[in-house]
Amino acid sequence: MSPWVITPEALAPFKCALPKQEPELLPYLQDKDLSSYDIKLEVALQTPSMTKEEIICTSNMKYLYYSVPQTIAHHSVTGCNMSVGDLLGSGTISGTEKSELGSMLELAWNATAPIKLENGEERTFINDGDVVNMHGTCKGNGYTIGFGDCSGGIKPALDDSHFF
């Protein structure tokens, strides 16, 4: 999600083909222009004891399985209307390398292999007080298109009285 509006024309130089989809999809999901964009993605984590964020994984939008038009077709085929301002999520975008896995569950191998941070802390899941920040960029010849940051934190509960 970006605080900026990035037009398809601005992304055109970064268009790339997606791999052939197997098994073949149903006709309504087939996309003659099966493509995405070469958008570099980074996910950074900052724990309460850290002074700056640390990148814990990188990926790329070119690793999507479904194209954006396929996502819209799948969303709307059952009659679910689309309106201006609607937000569709891509889901987890994982690459081919361990450092390109797109979720904490994948990065920490289902909590069996903790992520080791530079300050000595370890994480298998996001903890209270942690902040996750996602960055997306396209780098051209002498220019960069930035998508801005998408950041969110886990606020610690004030007390446990809300648990049953």
Find the CATH number of the domain harbouring 34: 3.90.850.10
Answer yes or no: is 126 within a domain: yes
Output the pLDDT for position 162: 53
Please enumerate in sequence order all residues whose Cβ is within 8 A of that of 106, keeping only pairs 6 or more positions apart, or say none.
Answer: 92, 94
For residue 36, the tally of other CB atoms under 10 A from its CB is 22
pLDDT at 56: 97
72's enclosing H/E stretch is helix 68-76
Q: Whose structure tokens read 């081919």?
A: 96
Q: Is residue 163 part of a domain?
A: no
52 within domain boundaries: yes
List the pLDDT tens digit at each of the 164 positions of the chain. 677 788 989 999 999 999 999 999 999 999 999 999 999 999 999 999 999 999 999 999 999 999 999 999 998 998 998 888 888 888 899 999 999 999 999 999 999 999 999 999 999 999 999 999 999 999 999 999 999 899 999 987 766 555 54
CA dist., res. 19 & res. 149, Å (int): 28
Q: What is the pLDDT of residue 30?
A: 94
Indicate whether 12 belongs to any domain.
yes
Look at residue 164 and tell me if it is in a domain.
no
Tell me the three state secondary structure of residue 149: strand
Give the domain range for residue 94. 8-151
Residue labelled with tokens 């679910």 = 80
The answer as to whether 3 is a domain residue is: no
Count how many domains the chain has: 1
